[in-house]
């Protein structure tokens, strides 16, 4: 527990400190990812000398927590920074805070559309084994509402073209919805109803961020491609 929390804080801190907002250390994203692998090796060595009967399970839970939470939120600190060319052809960083809002708005639009369309028109189960209440109709309704919302984002924020906004929307909606299913799978596997007790009645704190957490790495890759 202590090792996992400490490792998670370390990984997130390295991501945050390497962003242009702080510019304290300059570590490429590839090296930051490699650090997570180094932590895995260290945790394996710790368990090598421990007397625990299930060392692999302990390491798996620890590393999964870091990869599932710390790395995505670390990438989130890097997403708003867009590399542009100045008049002198020098690369400069521009902080686009609107991207964070856009990702959240798209997730919420998808949730709203999926809930209401699924409630009134949902008949075909999406993934009954994991989430009995989700339907294909609701998922399609959430996607449609989110795509319509991209036109609002284009008018308010600009930044990207409409096709690029729609591409971002599709990635956020699909991966965010899958993230929600993955969170349900984790809770079913561990046989727990909520992921925590901080937000009673909401499935736990992690449930409020499951879609965002799962979408972040895919969004990071997509924005890196279209920004370069």
* Structure tokens that stand for 193 in this block: 């109803």
Question: Among positive and negative, which fits the CA dihedral 162, 163, 167, 169?
Answer: positive
Rounded to whole angstroms, the Cα distance separating 137 from 228 reads 36
83: β partners: 93
Find out whether 193 and 162 touch, Cβ atoms under 8 Å: no
- Checking if the pLDDT of 30 tops 60, the result is yes
Query: What is the pLDDT, as a whole number, of residue 206?
Result: 67
How far out from the chain centre does Cα 163 lie? 22
Question: Can you give the pTM of this predicted structure?
Answer: 0.81
59-105 confidence digits (pLDDT tens):
888 888 888 888 899 889 888 876 554 444 555 667 888 999 999 99
- Of 71, 153, 68, the closest CA to residue 106 belongs to 153
Question: Among positive and negative, which fits the CA dihedral 17, 21, 27, 29?
Answer: positive
Q: Rg of the Cα trace of the chain?
A: 20
Rounded to whole angstroms, the Cα distance separating 31 from 133 reads 41
Sorting pLDDT into bands at 50, 70 and 90, what band is 125?
confident
State the helix-helix crossing angle for 29-48 and 2-18, rounded to 10 degrees: 160
User: Would you list the domain boundaries of the chain?
Assistant: 1-78, 82-228
Where is pLDDT greater, at 104 or 16? 104
Helix (H, G, I), strand (E, B) or coil at 200: coil
Share the mean pLDDT of the chain: 81
Task: Write phi, then psi, for 48 (nearest 5 degrees).
Answer: -60, -40
Mean pLDDT, residues 215-228 taken together? 89
In eight-state DSSP terms, residue 36 is H
Rounded to whole angstroms, the Cα distance separating 58 from 69 reads 17
Task: Provide the strand spans (E) within 35-114.
Answer: 81-85, 91-95
Query: What is the pLDDT, as a whole number, of residue 63?
Result: 83
Q: Which distant-in-sequence residues (6+ apart) come within 8 Å of 44 by Cβ?
A: 55, 59
Q: How many CB atoms lie within 10 A of CB 162?
A: 12
Rounded to whole angstroms, the Cα distance separating 5 from 123 reads 42
- Checking if the pLDDT of 199 tops 90, the result is no
Where is pLDDT greater, at 34 or 223? 223
């Amino acid at each position: 527990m202590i090792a996992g929390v400490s490792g998670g804080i370390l990984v997130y801190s390295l991501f945050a400190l390497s962003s242009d907002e702080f510019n304290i250390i300059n570590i490429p994203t590839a090296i930051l990812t490699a650090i997570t692998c180094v932590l895995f090796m260290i945790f394996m060595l710790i368990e090598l000398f421990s007397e625990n009967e299930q060392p692999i399970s302990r390491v798996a839970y620890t590393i999964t927590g870091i990869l599932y939470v710390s790395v995505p939120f670390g990438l989130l600190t890097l997403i708003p920074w867009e590399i542009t060319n100045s008049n002198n052809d020098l690369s400069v960083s521009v902080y686009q805070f609107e991207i964070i809002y856009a990702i959240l708005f798209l997730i919420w639009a998808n949730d709203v559309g999926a809930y209401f369309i699924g409630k009134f028109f949902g008949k075909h189960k999406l993934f009954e084994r994991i989430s009995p209440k989700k339907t294909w109709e609701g998922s399609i309704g959430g996607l449609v509402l989110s795509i319509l919302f991209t036109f609002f984002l284009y008018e308010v924020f600009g930044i990207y073209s409409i096709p690029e906004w729609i591409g971002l929307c599709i990635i956020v909606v699909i991966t965010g919805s899958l993230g929600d299913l993955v969170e349900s799978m984790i809770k079913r596997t561990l046989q727990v109803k909520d992921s925590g007790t901080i937000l009673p009645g909401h499935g736990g704190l992690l449930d409020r961020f499951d879609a965002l957490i799962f979408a972040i790495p895919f969004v990071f890759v997509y924005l890196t491609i279209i920004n370069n």
